Amino acid sequence: QVQLVESGGGVVPAGGSLRLSCAASDRTLYSYAMGWFRQIPGREREFVAAIAWLGSSTYYSDSVRGRFTISGEKARNTVYLQMNSLKPEDTAVYYCALVRTIVKLTEPTYDYWGQGTQVTVSS
């Protein structure tokens, strides 16, 4: 079973920055894309950003575009999320995900998920 391990969450004041990292336990596994979602208790999991390795195409939700940057290394099945200008409404558990086939990357239909890392932005 492939495991995704996230790191980099924490508590940061509004306007601050954090960098999340995620690595798959199987670095040789073929993947089409990797992405980040977030979830607040009682709400559905929300798309944040994704990177499709072919052409290194990136995708962002409207709420984070211009503030967050996704990057990664396909050969290592590793993905990063640089989060700048953080707002209290960015507070959530952030999940890393990996998908092996072509899907709509903004939907949570990925094959593998991490356990999540908490990001808390204080006002």
Q: Are the C-beta atoms of 72 and 80 separated by less than 8 Å?
A: yes
Q: How many CB atoms lie within 10 A of CB 33?
A: 24
Task: Give the model confidence (pLDDT) of 2-41 as tens digits.
Answer: 999 999 999 999 999 999 999 999 988 999 999 999 999 9
- Tell me which residue of 10, 8, 9, 18 sits closest to 85, measured CA to CA: 18
Task: Give the model confidence (pLDDT) of 68-100 as tens digits.
Answer: 999 999 999 999 999 999 999 999 999 999 999
Average pLDDT over residues 36-62: 96
Under DSSP, is residue 113 helix (H, G, I), strand (E, B) or coil?
strand
- Tell me which residue of 63, 71, 56, 15 sits closest to 40, measured CA to CA: 63
Phi, psi (deg, nearest 5) at residue 14: -55, 135
Phi-psi region of 113 (alpha: psi -120 to 50; beta: other; left: phi over 0): beta
